[in-house]
Amino acid sequence: MSLREALEAGRFAVTSEVGPPKGIDVSAMMASAELLRGRVDALNVTDNQAAVMRLSTIAACVHLKQAGFEPVLQVTGRDRNRLAIQSDLLGAASLGITTVLALTGDHVVVGDHREAKAVFDLESVQILKVIADLNAGHDMTGHDLIGTPEFYPGAVVTPGSVPLEPQIAKFEKKIAAGARYFQTQAVFDIEAFAHFMSGARESGAKVLAGVVVLRSARMAHFMNKNIPGIAVPDGIIATLERSENPQQTGIEIAARFIDECKEVCDGVHIMAVGAEHLVPQILDAAGLTEVIA
């Protein structure tokens, strides 16, 4: 069952993500994917994440697909103009990669090639529109395609963004532009997230809650300070601070949150950030024990 099928069937879905290497040796990437085999519906493949140059997303997706995983192709507007984006999408579709996630992309100046020209010819909403165009059998200028792809487009939303209103407006634009599912920036406060979802539900889009496994109070503090839209509640930080085994506590916190999400949204997107080996344990603790085919 693909991610699309799972979400459309109403099964609580689980995704995670892997980062392509800087270089051509994909063994570490594949090893971390192996740790998740059978426990996730799909694996997101980041696109030069944080504007740090790495192996191409499409190539990484192909490696994963060949190994039997369902990859989610992240497409950003940072490095490619509208020709390259369409062309890459068609290329991906031709290789059977159709689950895509449209993002604007981090700015080049935060990455490792800060003097690069930032493209941003299209941003997330426009990329979603382009995907809709391709799915309709033509490119964004109306020229017919030979062979029509069937992308399942998704996007991201940050429920904790401050101020929230422009974020919600953009969320609505993304839905209007064809986003079928969303993964969120990491969320920790289930009540605030539930409030966001009560509005989001009306749109009909599927939402995967972003989950980050906190491994220490320091990590929580760091994320609060440095990552836009993330707010780890003080209570969680206090719990981590009190814990004798913060990693175990972090696993428990993530598991409880995932368990609570079952009533609130359509799935979770686990950003393990180097702790992929903990994911099965978390899912077990969250009661998601069944093996995904």
Residues of the shown chain interacting with other proteins in the complex, contacts defined by CB under 8 A? 77-78, 82, 103-107, 109-110, 118, 120-126, 129, 140, 156, 158, 161-163, 165-167, 169-170, 172-173, 176-177, 185, 228-229
CB of residue 37 vs other proteins: minimum separation in angstroms? Answer: 29
CB of residue 229 vs other proteins: minimum separation in angstroms? Answer: 6
CB of residue 85 vs other proteins: minimum separation in angstroms? Answer: 10
Q: Which of 71, 10, 75 is nearest to 40 (CA)?
A: 71
How many C-beta neighbours within 10 Å does residue 138 have? 13
**Of 46 and 185, which has the nearer Cβ to other proteins?**
185
**Of 14 and 103, which has the nearer Cβ to other proteins?**
103
Could you tell me which residues come within 8 angstroms of residue 97 by beta carbon, excluding any fewer than 6 positions away? 58, 61, 62, 65, 71, 73
Annotate 9-44 with b (16+ C-beta within 10 A) or e (fewer): eeebbbbbbbbbeeeeebeebbebbebbeebbbbbb
**Of 142 and 228, which has the nearer Cβ to other proteins?**
228
Q: Which of 152, 166, 273, 150 is nearest to 211 (CA)?
A: 273
**Of 63 and 129, which has the nearer Cβ to other proteins?**
129
Kind and range of the H or E run holding 206: strand 206-212
Q: Which of 166, 164, 156, 162 is nearest to 127 (CA)?
A: 156
**Of 99 and 124, which has the nearer Cβ to other proteins?**
124
CB of residue 179 vs other proteins: minimum separation in angstroms? Answer: 12
CB of residue 123 vs other proteins: minimum separation in angstroms? Answer: 4
